[in-house]
Amino acid sequence: MIKIEKLNEYYEKYLTDLAEHMDKPQEQTEPIHVGEKIKHLRETQGLSLEELARKTGFDITMLENIEQEKITPPLGTMIRLSRALNTVMSSIFSQQEEQKNYSVLRVCDHKSAPLPTGRASYHSYIPLAADLKDRHMDPFIVKLNPEKKDVAPSVHDGEELIYVIDGEVKIVIEDQVEILSLGDALYLKSTAPHIVVTNTDEPALILAIMYSK
């Protein structure tokens, strides 16, 4: 068995490398152009920005910024957009056309995993199963950066599991506040208004698994 000291050393190096990687999405060879895909889906379905705004409840300016890739939308926003566009979130992240029955992302490949483009976001994330279509769960590694302004609550259909990989996380669900540390987990009904942010001045890393029917 590997000694615990070696495991800790490996884990700390992995977290450091992963956090640095997620701060530099522009260096990826094939970033996911989320905004382009959303715009393509919207135009293919003959929807105007005003119509998409009515279907999602989002501000038109916000939708324009997402399509122009000025911002990276949070995962909750992505879910609502995908439902309004009659698709699953996985289709927006998928880089491959080939239909598969499984998806593998090895730890050595995390650095080459495609990241969404976007120039302004309080978080960044790596999709862990982007090439598997028509699934009900969406797993991500999410880096929560310290946010200087208030974060709006997220509300969407489905359920989600949040597991803390590193740092300290504050989760607000309606009027309840939960503080999670390394190894803590929280499962919630996503229809309840919720906010997920780092609880300190340092970034936090979480595994987020979202389920939609």
Residues belonging to the chain: 213
Domain that holds residue 44: 4-211
For 17-67, the pLDDT digits (tens) are: 777 777 664 444 466 788 888 999 999 999 999 999 999 889 999 999 999
What does the block give as tokens for 58? 């989002």
Mean pLDDT across 174-184:
95
Q: Are 116 and 125 in contact (CB under 8 A)?
A: yes
Mean pLDDT across 106-134:
69
Highest averaged pLDDT of the listed ranges 19-28, 138-147, 149-158: 138-147
**Beta-carbon contacts of residue 44 (< 8 Å; ≥ 6 apart):** none
What does the block give as tokens for 174? 């309606």
Write the DSSP symbol of residue 43. H
21, 70, 121, 145, 153 from 62: Cα distances, Å? 26, 9, 12, 20, 15
- pLDDT at residue 15 in the model: 79
> What percent of the residues of the chain are helix, what percent strand, and what percent coil, each to the nearest 5?
35, 25, 45
| Residue 41: CATH number of its domain | 2.60.120.10
Q: Are 93 and 130 in contact (CB under 8 A)?
A: yes
Mean pLDDT across 192-210:
93
**Beta-carbon contacts of residue 16 (< 8 Å; ≥ 6 apart):** none
Q: What's the number of domains the chain is made of?
A: 1
For 90-113, the pLDDT digits (tens) are: 667 666 555 678 878 787 777 656
Question: For the whole prediction, is pTM greater than 0.85?
Answer: no
